[in-house]
Amino acid sequence: MPATPAWPPKSTPRLFVEQPLAVGATLNIAGNSAHYLTGVMRLKEGAPVKLFDDISGEYLATIAHLGKRDLDLTVDAKLRDRELSPDLWICQALVKKDRFDWIAEKACELGISRFVPVLTARCVVDKVKDDRLRTHMIEAAEQCERTALPQIATLTRIEALLQKWPAERTLYFCDERGGEPFLDAITAEPGAVLIGPEGGFTDSENAAIRAHPNARPVSLGPRILRADTAAVTAISVWMAKNGDWSA
């Protein structure tokens, strides 16, 4: 007896939608998402689509009607609840745009709950486009099957970040000048990893961070890592020890 194929098929596309989802709801999709489903994926009426809203979870929907530039979907069933993201933030000093976007995308894939862009003295750029960051996070979440999007904080100067740091959260200060081996330093508390810009932190920034009661200077090994390498490494080590990687 041939096995019945799984439903929905593995190839079913996945989309984030801004509006709250519920079984029985109908929604209209237009713009890039509509083009992706009809122009790129060539889906027809009756085709399945997975949707998630970063509020209640992930749903299975069906294309009910194809318009010229939009389409209607009906939500048929709930597949999963919204995930409880591991409670790790990344506080990332601004680096060149393409690398910064890459860090945002990898941080989302690796499961972080909050992304905090940080401005320090040696940042070579001094602004960040929130909507571009969000787009990268949404695309990463659609691809890696997350049901929650990381929160994106507004750009924060390092001084202000330290000033209003939440008392319950450990700030793992990734410092290439040295610190405790990161794997040994990780505790079960909510955490954040702080990564500097291409040129690193200034001496006064380094001293101010180290003086903060929640800061723990940690080392990611004897080599000087690029900021993007350090970001992915720090998140991965924390996730492996404290995150949701073990079943």
- DSSP conformation letters of the chain: -PPPPPSS-TT--EEE-SS---TT-EEEEEHHHHIIIIIIS---TT-EEEEE-SSSEEEEEEEEEE-SSEEEEEEEEEEEEPP---SEEEEEE---HHHHHHHHHHHHHHT-SEEEEEE-TT-S-----HHHHHHHHHHHHHHHT-SSPPEEPPPEEHHHHHHT--TT-EEEEE-TT--EEHHHH--SS-EEEEE--TT---HHHHHHHHHSTTEEEEE--SS---HHHHHHHHHHHHHHHHSS---
The reply on whether position 125 binds ligand SAM by CB under 6 A is no
Instruction: Compare residues 16 and 201 and give the one whose CB is closer to ligand SAM.
Output: 201
Contact flag: residue 60 with ligand SAM (CB under 6 A): no
Comparing CB distances to ligand SAM, the nearer of 128 and 195 is 195
For the bound state, the minimum distance from the C-beta of residue 166 to ligand SAM, rounded and expressed in Å, comes to: 20
Which residue, 73 or 185, is less far from ligand SAM as judged by CB? 185
Check binding of 87 to ligand SAM (CB under 6 A): no
The yes or no reply on residue 39 touching ligand SAM (CB under 6 A) is no
Shortest Å distance, C-beta 181 to ligand SAM = 10
Closer residue to ligand SAM in complex, CB, 72/176 = 176
Site string for ligand SAM, 160-179 (x = CB under 6 A): --------------xxx---
**CB-wise, 140 or 237, nearer to ligand SAM?**
237
What is the per-residue binding string for ligand SAM in 199-228, x denoting contact by CB under 6 A? xxx-----------------xxx-xxxxx-
Residues of this chain that interact with ligand SAM (CB under 6 A) are: 174-176, 195-196, 198-201, 219-221, 223-227, 230
